Amino acid sequence: MSVAIGETIPDIELPATGEKSVKLSDYRGKNLVLYFYPKASTPGCTQEGQDFRDAADAFAAADTQILGASRDGIKAQDNFKAKQSFPFDLLSDKDETLCKAFDVIKMKKMYGKESLGVERSTFLIDAEGVLREEWRGVKVKDHVAAVLTAAQRLKAG
């Protein structure tokens, strides 16, 4: 059962970059963008992360923190964050606990083969931990601008 708009998100704890463990409740009090990407250091995921990185100050001005998540191991996440100078943490969800809670594991087709993978998705969660907006099947171009607009609207009330 995945979390739906208007519901409180589950308080899941996962390993994060910088040798930390992070609980989603740690982000209460500010709005949170939680974005899921298929694989660290691949072109689309790198571009999406760079777009969030480049807009980080604007998100901060909208009282919104950013968290990225994928099924990559923590070493891959640490390397990805360091190489791209991301000012936000990345979560390692190897057992797919967070992915399943947000229902982002989907059947994907690549080179004619089907496999289960992470569907690029973004979720906007308010300061009380309630899911306010979601974007599924995301195309990277212009996506971060749309999320930023929604975060600014949420801050404005």
Q: Indicate which residues carry an active-site annotation.
A: 45
Q: Would you call 19 exposed, middle or buried from its count of C-beta atoms within 10 A (0-12, 13-18, 19+)? A: exposed
DSSP code of residue 19:
T
Joined together, the tokens standing for residue 42 give: 């691949």
23-56 burial code (b ≥16 CB/10 A, e <16): ebebbeeebbbbbbbbbbeeeebbbbbebbbebb
Own/partner long-range contacts of 82-87 (Cβ < 8 Å, ≥24 apart): 83/41, 84/46, 84/49, 84/50, 84/53, 85/53, 86/49, 86/52, 86/53, 87/53, 87/56
DSSP code of residue 129:
S
